[in-house]
Amino acid sequence: MILATDPSLAIIRIGVLSLQGGVEEHLQMLRALPAVEVRTFTRPSELAGLDAVILPGGESTAIGKLAVENGLMDALRSRIIEGMPVWGTCAGMILLAREIRNDKRRHLAVMDITVDRNGYGAQLESFVSKIPIDGIEGGPFPLVFIRAPRILVVGPGVRVMASLNGEPIACVQDAMVATAFHPELSGDTRFHRWFVELARTSNRG
């Protein structure tokens, strides 16, 4: 169902992986944007017709295990390699990473970054900050970190969009986006709007 439209824009179809984790928060953000059709997906057949996907935060091992059991991992990897835009937040970033320093299991391994699961500490060490993000207009963006992974290494084709205390926390490679924090919990739709525009531009090409 199309939940927000603007006649001046082409409809973009965004799917949110809905196996586990912070799905509803992403859906609410996307529904607030114009010309976006929002869907959820859990199986390969549900990727058909999607222009871009979001991999939400949650438990990366649980999401990866369920994706394998549903036969989704290979299909999702193929679509991403073919150029479908994807954004991974927190656990979703772990799924995208080429290398996970402390867990080699069940990930897509498509983005040239190395991450450390729970690198920012346990649940009690969650925190909020606010900094400017390259490409996100309107001033500093609120950052919500919850059991966040750390980006340890970025490859030569990866552009860092934002760093906190000298460490990358948001990056982009081609049409792949990764954030260690949770924009969907910020109450600020600017990052989702930016990703929708990235997806729209990629699909025009």
Catalytic residue IDs = 90, 182, 184
Supply φ then ψ for residue 51, to 5 degrees: -95, -25
Three-state SS annotation for 143-188:
EEECCCCEEEEECCCCEEEEEECCEEEEEEECCEEEECCCHHHCCC
Contact (CB, 8 A) for 109 and 99: yes
Token pair for residue 135? 């490409």
Measure the CA–CA gap between 105 and 74, rounded to whole angstroms.
Answer: 14
Amino acid symbol at 76: L
Other Cβ atoms closer than 10 A to 140: 12
Measure the CA–CA gap between 200 and 205, rounded to whole angstroms.
Answer: 9
Measure the CA–CA gap between 175 and 126, rounded to whole angstroms.
Answer: 28
